[in-house]
Amino acid sequence: MIPLSMIESGKKIKIKKIIAGKTTAKKLQELGLLEGEYLCVLTNSDGPIIVIKDNLRFAIGRGLSHKILVEEVA
């Protein structure tokens, strides 16, 4: 598992673990970003990381992206 912040653009990933406080974890849950969900990293450069889930785009800040552990999927 590696932090979301280290994933290159264009990669498909699976959320393995979220290391965040209750408030942040709840916000992610409300967005549908849960452990076991599959995402695609649209862009990962300077600034927020843009991911796509079910044709919806989410911008995730750098700090939060360090707390989301993922694995690449083929």
- pTM above the 0.85 mark? yes
Q: Is 28 helix (H, G, I), strand (E, B) or coil?
A: helix
Predicted local distance difference test score (pLDDT) of residue 74: 81
Q: To the nearest whole number, what is the mean pLDDT of the chain?
A: 94
Confidence check: pLDDT of 53 > 90? yes
Confidence check: pLDDT of 23 > 90? yes
| Pairing mode of beta strands 2-3, 12-18 | unpaired
Q: What value does the mean pLDDT take over residues 44-56?
A: 94
User: What is the DSSP-derived secondary structure letter of residue 66?
Assistant: T
